[in-house]
Amino acid sequence: MKGIYFVLVMLISAQIFSQTKFKDPDDLVTRGVKYYENGNYSKAISLFDEVNKNDSLYPVAMYEKSMCLHAQEKIDEAVVLLEDIINTYHYKTLRSMVMLASLYDEQERYDEAQEIYEGLVAEHPYSQNAWYNLGVSYFLSEDYELAEQAFIKSILLKPWHPRSSIFLGLLNSLMNRPVHAIACINVAAWLNADNELGMAAVRELESVCEGAYDDEIVKDIECPDSITSDKIQELEPIISSHVITNKKLKMPTKNDYSFTKYNYVVFSELDDEFPNSNIYTSFYFPLVKSIYNEEYFDEYSYYILQNFNLSDVQKYVKKKKTKLIIFQKWSIRQFAHYIYETGFFHPKNVHYEYKDGEIYSIYTYSDSTKEILDGEYMTFHNTGVISSRGKYENDIPVEKAYVYDDEGKMIMEVEYEGNEDEDGLFKAYFENGELSHEIEIKDNVKNGYYKEYYPNGNLESNYYYKNDRFTGNGYELTIFGDTASILSECKEDTSLYQIRQYYSSGQLLKTQIRTKSDAEQEGVMTSYFMDGSIHSRSKVVDGEYVDTLVIYNVSGDTADFYVFDEDGETIIEKHYGSSGNLSTIVEYEKEDTYHNYEFHYNGAMLSDLYVKGDKYVSLIIYDTTGTEIQRLEDLNKGNNVFQTIDVVTGQVIIDYELKGGKHEGYYKVFTPSGSLLRTMMYEDDELHGEFFEYYPDGSIRIEKKFKNGELSGPYTEYYPDSTLEQTGYYLDDHRVGEWISYYPDGTKEESRYYNSRGERNGWIIHYVQDTIIDFMEHYESDKMVGYLSFDANGDTILYYEVVDGYLDADIKYDDGKNWKKFMYVDNVLVDSLVLWNINGTVVKEGYVSEDGYHGSLKYYYDDGTLDEEKEFLQGYQNGLRKRYFENGSLHSETPFLNDDYNGVMKKYFKNGKISSLTHFVDDNLNGNRDYYNPLGEFMVRLIYHNGYLKAYTYKGSNGKFVEPILVDKDTVNMVAYYPGGQKSFEATLIGNEWNGRRVYYYKNGSVFWEEYNHMGRSHGRDVSYWPDGSKMYDFNYEYGYLHGKALTFHKNGKLEREEEYYYGNKTGKENVYDKNGKLIEVRDYYLDVMTNQNTNP
């Protein structure tokens, strides 16, 4: 399958450009179409070419480009382009296929063109455009009889389509039926006399009349003064000669153009009635005959010439304006009569409705009065594709009705019982054809069950209705049949119902009360962690929170506390630290006026900010003892410089300008040690202009731009050594265009594309070593539609498509063993998710709902032992995340609350002893971070506040903590000691980021752990040792990526495991050794996936 790989590389290689300004593809296509319509094809093409290949509008742009190439007569180029977008981008729309077939016609590839058209009319028999173009193809290939039938079908669907009548006339001329030809072309000229198509019809009429048979055929025929023959076959040799034009005829008009004479002969000599019925005898002949019979021939002969710049014609048009208007009104009535009332185009009891010139609906009635529906009906999309169909009997819908999308796929079915109340069973379908809804209808409203299904056919929910009102009773299921929710009517108040939601493993997730009328939350809602402890509790009345809302950490401590007034407005909100200590209080006077109080973890108030009408008024800052150290007042008056001081270090951490209490001008943010962290500009209280983030050494980390408060412009992110880490572009706060991320060595890691709405669009491509592709994910407007995965040789090892939003995947390895099992519904990953390695061991399993992961998500080592387990609540990580060593002992426990670190993270050594204790609040380090060595001995405490290291301490000789040492300078050399005076820790901090060597020691002075950092990122060796000096592990990092050799050792110093990594992904050989150093297993990996295993090396 290498071919697929190389094709894709060619397809995507042109997409990787340096950062340029984003151009809205919608605007490019719109402007390009306007240039096309104005005949500026080159300019239109240049705009279409600017649409990125990854954008969902790219195939549309290329279709429009093919139209331009066609107009430029570059047929071969147009064909190649159209074939590419149809085959590569699956752009098989009705119009694109018609366009391709018409291009084949111009290349005289008639068989290929007709194969396409015949397929289209078979699939969409009411598509007038498809029938017409099929007729053209038959005409060009000189298959006139088939062409005639196709054009007739086109005309039956759209009687006023001029080109169909013109072509029908031309092929009749070629089939030696000049009477038919003249009648058909005259109708086209008549109905389009006021436009270019009418003029084209007149020119074709002139050509037909002046062509005729060779004079030898009719040399003996004389043209009488009055032609009285009533038979078409007798007229044909006469009107096909030049005899008529050589003689004068007595006509009721002074218009003596040659084709006028032919018209007069045909119009006057045609019979009034014909024994058989076809499109000629029932439409064309009587229609043109009526012009003669109603004595409008004079007006008609000038009417069809009104757009020609002929002096006699224009003189007549000006002089006889009123007569021509009368004739025009008569023409409209006459044309409508033959379409709707003669019964030829359709029976008199069948009503055809047109919209914007296209067929819109067909309804069958009991009789010509068209009062009672009785029979089949159809409605159509504007392309001629059926949008719905069904049947009536005596004005009552019966049997089944169907609804279709614009591609002709059934999306809905209704089964009627056949009574006046339209009782029955309503059914709707997914695009894959599976049932999506099933609803019982009685008395023309919902009565009974209301079922919803998953795209694989499994029942999703079942609700019960009575007289179109939800009863409050029902249930919801997971995609594999487990109970997701139980709904029941509240006995105390029957206007309400209770919902009990469950985790996929069966534990209670949430209880809540809702109103039957509009499903609004009403009453008490309680959510639970998987262990049964309360996650949150609130109360809602009339759609508004009342009383209190409390959110808890998994430890049971309060995380957030809100108090509401009777109108649902917040009056107090409190936020707490990892150990339940108060961190923030906001007291509201009204929505935009409040006091914001911040607290230290020791309980002391740090600041009091007063905001009135969304404008800063005053700020008071206190130190950790509660002593006021700064007061700023009247900030809402005039121009002010606003500076805040870190309560621990005393350094300025924020410096900006205020104008009337609002931001205006520069805004600078510093670390607690004084290093510049960010600079930005404000205009009228909104971010506007350049925005920079810096590393502690002053080099740029991120540069971006804002416009009127929204990100707009280039975005660039750098590694600490100033090499590119990521580039992209923002527009109106959305990522747009091409975004590229890079590995630390400068090679591409990933490229992705976003459309003008900020949605992932096209291929996300993940690279290894710059040019080798690992995998590709294809998106359309943020919806996953395809996936490709490659091995180290570039061979395709996995390919799947999410068709119409649905995929039920059960993927096997080459030997037939399970590999991956998952499902997409509406382009979203749902269902139970399971991955196996090549030896049949599960390596990942969990449940995914439409809201994201739900319940427990587990990862396993390749030998089947548990590696990691996470708990999710409707897409958010909540509860404890646990990680394990390969020997099964606990590695770490991390508490989460709504995807944020919240609580105390505990890490362990393999021997079960504590490695570190870290306090988090709202994803920030807040409080203490304590480190221990593998012997269980305390080494050092780092003290954090709001994510910044503020101080550190250690235990003195008396076993008590020494006075915290402030981290209050740009560069701080930190040293800590054991109670006995031995060094326990040393490191260098620059601008509050680790830099250089960081070392932890045993009491005996030997190194326990040493690692290297550059501007806060792991960069270099990371080695840990046993107390005797032998290694525990030896890793290497490059700016946070585990990279290169990774060695793990037994306690006796013997090598236990030897691995290779490529920027965070295990790639290469993994050798496993026993305690004696004997090789016992060899595994091959490619980007974290085991590709081979040898347990007997």
Give the model confidence (pLDDT) of 503-551 as tens digits.
Answer: 777 888 889 999 988 888 888 999 887 788 888 899 988 888 899 999 8
Upper half-sphere CA count for residue 603 (Cβ side, 13 Å): 1
What pLDDT digit, counting tens, does each position of 945-956 carry? 878 898 999 999
Mean pLDDT of 220-246: 50
The type of residue at 784 is M
pLDDT at 407: 76
Mean pLDDT of 825-854: 82
Judge contact between 990 and 1011, C-beta under 8 A: no
pLDDT at 10: 26
Q: For residue 182, is pLDDT > 80? A: yes
472 vs 57: which has the higher pLDDT: 472
H or E segment to which residue 189 belongs: helix 178-191
| Helices and strands (DSSP H and E) totals, the chain | 20, 72
Lowest mean pLDDT among 23-32, 734-743, 1066-1075: 23-32
Upper half-sphere CA count for residue 384 (Cβ side, 13 Å): 22
The pairs formed by 467-470 with CB atoms below 8 angstroms and a separation of 24 or more are: 467/443, 469/516, 470/497, 470/516
Confidence of residue 224 (pLDDT cuts 50, 70, 90): very low
Q: Which of 936, 950, 949 is nearest to 978 (CA)?
A: 936
Judge contact between 262 and 229, C-beta under 8 A: no
pLDDT at 237: 62
pLDDT at 9: 28
H or E segment to which residue 376 belongs: strand 373-380
Confidence of residue 18 (pLDDT cuts 50, 70, 90): very low
pLDDT at 419: 63
Residue with tokens 């795209």: 455
Average pLDDT score over the chain: 87
Length of the chain: 1097
Mean pLDDT of 771-777: 86
Judge contact between 138 and 114, C-beta under 8 A: yes
Apex CA 1039: angle with CA 1038 and CA 1042, to 5°? 45
Using a pLDDT cut of 70, give the percent of the chain over it: 93
Helix (H, G, I), strand (E, B) or coil at 869: strand
pLDDT at 54: 74
Is the pTM higher than 0.85? The answer reads no
What pLDDT digit, counting tens, does each position of 335-363 carry? 888 888 777 888 888 888 888 778 889 99
Confidence of residue 15 (pLDDT cuts 50, 70, 90): very low
What pLDDT digit, counting tens, does each position of 427-458 carry? 877 766 778 889 988 887 889 999 998 777 88
Q: Which CATH class is domain 1006-1097?
A: mainly beta
Query: What phi and psi values does residue 782 have, to the nearest 5 degrees?
Result: 75, 10
pLDDT at 923: 84
Is it true that 350-453 and 1006-1097 share their CATH fold? Answer: no
pLDDT at 661: 82
Using a pLDDT cut of 90, give the percent of the chain over it: 50
Residue with tokens 């990774």: 1046
The type of residue at 594 is Y
What pLDDT digit, counting tens, does each position of 582-636 carry? 888 999 998 889 999 988 777 888 889 999 988 888 989 888 788 888 888 888 8
The type of residue at 564 is F
| Dist. CA 835–CA 821, nearest whole Å | 6
Checking phi first, is residue 341 left (phi over 0); if not, alpha (psi -120 to 50) or beta?
Answer: alpha
666 vs 553: which has the higher pLDDT: 666
Say which residues have a Cβ less than 8 Å from residue 400's Cβ, sequence separation at least 6: 390, 391, 413, 414, 415, 416
pLDDT at 20: 53
Q: Which of 1074, 1071, 1073, 1097 is nearest to 1085 (CA)?
A: 1071
Q: For residue 866, is pLDDT > 70? A: yes
The type of residue at 699 is S
In a 10 Å sphere around its CB, with 0-12 CB exposed, 13-18 middle and 19+ buried, how is residue 184 labelled?
A: buried
CB neighbours of residue 579 within 10 Å: 16
What pLDDT digit, counting tens, does each position of 129-158 carry? 999 999 999 999 999 999 999 999 999 999
Q: How far is CA 442 from the centre of its chain?
A: 38
Judge contact between 867 and 859, C-beta under 8 A: yes
Confidence of residue 17 (pLDDT cuts 50, 70, 90): very low
Confidence of residue 1097 (pLDDT cuts 50, 70, 90): confident
| Dist. CA 349–CA 365, nearest whole Å | 5
Upper half-sphere CA count for residue 243 (Cβ side, 13 Å): 22
What pLDDT digit, counting tens, does each position of 981-1003 carry? 999 999 999 988 999 999 999 99
pLDDT at 542: 82
Mean pLDDT of 205-216: 62
Confidence of residue 236 (pLDDT cuts 50, 70, 90): low
The CATH code that applies to domain 350-453 is 3.90.930.1
In a 10 Å sphere around its CB, with 0-12 CB exposed, 13-18 middle and 19+ buried, how is residue 659 labelled?
A: middle
| Dist. CA 95–CA 65, nearest whole Å | 14
Helix (H, G, I), strand (E, B) or coil at 76: helix
Q: For residue 394, is pLDDT > 80? A: yes
Domain ranges of the chain: 160-344, 350-453, 638-708, 810-822+837-894, 1006-1097
Lowest mean pLDDT among 134-148, 190-204, 230-244: 230-244
pLDDT at 16: 32
Q: Which of 708, 763, 698 is nearest to 730 (CA)?
A: 708
